[in-house]
Amino acid sequence: MSLMPSLDLFLQPEIFLVWTSALKTFVILGVVLTMVAYSVWAERKVSAFIQDRIGPNRVGWAGLIQPVADGVKLLLKENFVPGGVNKFFFSIAPSLAMIPSILVLAVLPFGSSLFGVPMVIANLDIGVLWVFAVSSLGVYGIVLAGWASNSKYPFLGGIRSSSQMISYELSLGLSVVPVFMITGTLNLGEIVQYQVDNGWMVFPAWFQTGAGLRDMTTESGSMFGLDLGKTLLWIPMMISFVVFIIAMFAETNRIPFDLPEAEQELVGGYHTEYSSMRFALFFLGEYAAMIAGSGVIVTLFLGGWSLPFVPDGSQGWFWGLVNIGTFFAKIAAIIFFFLWVRWTLPRFRFDQLMKLGWYVFFEVALINIFLTAGILAYLQS
């Protein structure tokens, strides 16, 4: 009997919100940090397999405990601060590089719902704006690291990074505008729900309920149907997807756009002067950014947690878990794609990179918006 009052307290709306959010935050943080560790492992394994090697296989079965060994190694190393650095900025830069990518996770809907609790930490109506605003802060970490190191290579890395971010942020932002034009919302959860109803942005032929385009077409399609509106909208969606994913490569400093760190030219770029745990933070921040970026790609274009013919969490906790698993499996697939590209392509030259950003992707993304607008206007008329 004494249990009841305390249970009631936990079920009061405000308190319920607080402890479920805290729980979700901790679980997601745990899952994502584990994923970060294992994407480093995957990076080494994939690179090895692509180059006909074996990769880490000593620590644990197939090297699965390798991330722990790496972490311990980095922790035990001497944390060396070179003379002549700006101590304050030098020490906060690694955290500044790591934090934004983690913050992005707050708005990503990583599942439908579990026991009626929506599986998103913060259900913001401006979800996508939050993602862009926060993720572009990541450049501060890199620029400050380059500047505070008081050394030429990190400095060059920092400069490259800032100019690269500025040129690709534009196409990144513009390429998702068509998505909002079609869905009519900035809330990531609603964007996923739209894709559940109408098929994924990049595979509109798969949809579950056959409701047709919201507000735009009156007749409802069949299970596998592709009506005129969807086929037409598929074109700008594919363009958006390609531009967005390429811009994401540039945002997360992955090859072929890893100019800020370019080992061969800049001796590691902005983190040349860092060692031990500070270096590890940059390293982890980069992978966390990759995971967050993949999460955004999955949410916006690949249907988030949805799979065709799989019900959402309102049908029972089992399906809620399946949805969460689906989301992380999709992220893993995108990460594999990132790794695959990294071990295939050489690095772009800096002028090629800028040209590509300003002359090609910016225009393509801009034209794509007008194209989408035209198609939507045609469909509504």
Partner 1 sequence: MATIVQRPQLSLLERSYFPAILGGLWITIKHFIKTLFGQTKVTMQYPEQKWDSALPEWYRGAPTLVKDEHDRERCVACQLCEFICPPRAITIKPAEFPSNGPWAKVEKYPEKFDIDMIRCIYCGLCEEVCPEQAIFLRKDYSITGLTRAEMVHDKEKLYELGGVRHGLVNKWNEKK
**Torsion (CA) 114, 116, 120, 121 in degrees, nearest 10:** -110
In this complex, which beta carbon is closest to partner 1, that of residue 46 or of residue 143? Answer: 46
C-alpha span between 302 and 268 (Å, rounded): 34
Which lies closer to partner 1 via its Cβ, residue 216 or residue 235? 235
**CA distances for 81 relative to 149, 249, 263, 282, angstroms:** 9, 31, 21, 15
* Whole-number Å distance between alpha carbons of 127 and 107: 6
Are the C-beta atoms of 342 and 287 separated by less than 8 Å? no
Smallest separation, CB 252 to partner 1 (Å) = 18
Shortest CB 260 distance to partner 1, Å: 21
> First CA to last CA across the chain, in angstroms?
64
CB closer to partner 1 out of 31 and 347: 347
Angle at 165 between CA 123 and CA 99, to 5 degrees: 45
Nearest to 192 by CA among 296, 115, 292: 296
Minimum CB distance to partner 1 smaller for 46 or for 120 = 46
Of the two residues 50 and 92, which places its CB atom closer to partner 1 in the complex? 50
Of 51, 13, 36, which Cα lies nearest the Cα of 98? 36
Nearer to partner 1, 50 or 226 (CB): 50
Q: Report whether 295 contacts 108 (CB < 8 A).
A: yes
CA–CA dist 195, 199 (Å, integer): 5
Residue 255 CB, shortest distance to partner 1, in Å, is: 12
We find the least distance from the C-beta atom of residue 247 to partner 1, in angstroms, to be 15
Q: How far is the CB of 167 from partner 1 (least distance, A)?
A: 17
Indicate the helix (H) or strand (E) that contains 117: strand 117-118
Q: Could you tell me the smallest distance in angstroms from the CB atom of residue 305 to partner 1?
A: 27
Give the residue with the Cβ less far from partner 1, 38 or 180.
Answer: 38
The C-alpha angle with vertex 323 and arms to 292 and 184, in degrees rounded to 5, equals 65
Q: Which residues contribute to the site for partner 1 (CB under 8 A)?
A: 46, 48-54, 340-341, 343-345
Q: In angstroms, what is the minimal distance from the CB of 360 to partner 1?
A: 9
H-only helix segments in 51-137:
66-76, 87-104, 127-135
Taking the complex as a whole, the smallest distance from the CB of residue 354 to partner 1 amounts, in Å, to 15
How many Cβ atoms are within 10 Å of 22's Cβ, its own excluded? 11
95 or 352, CB closer to partner 1? 352
Tell me how far, at minimum, the Cβ of 48 lies from partner 1, in Å.
8
User: In this complex, which beta carbon is closest to partner 1, that of residue 34 or of residue 344?
Assistant: 344
Q: Which amino acid is at 60?
A: G
Place of tokens 């709306």: 13
Residue among 325, 331, 239 at smallest CA distance from 287: 331
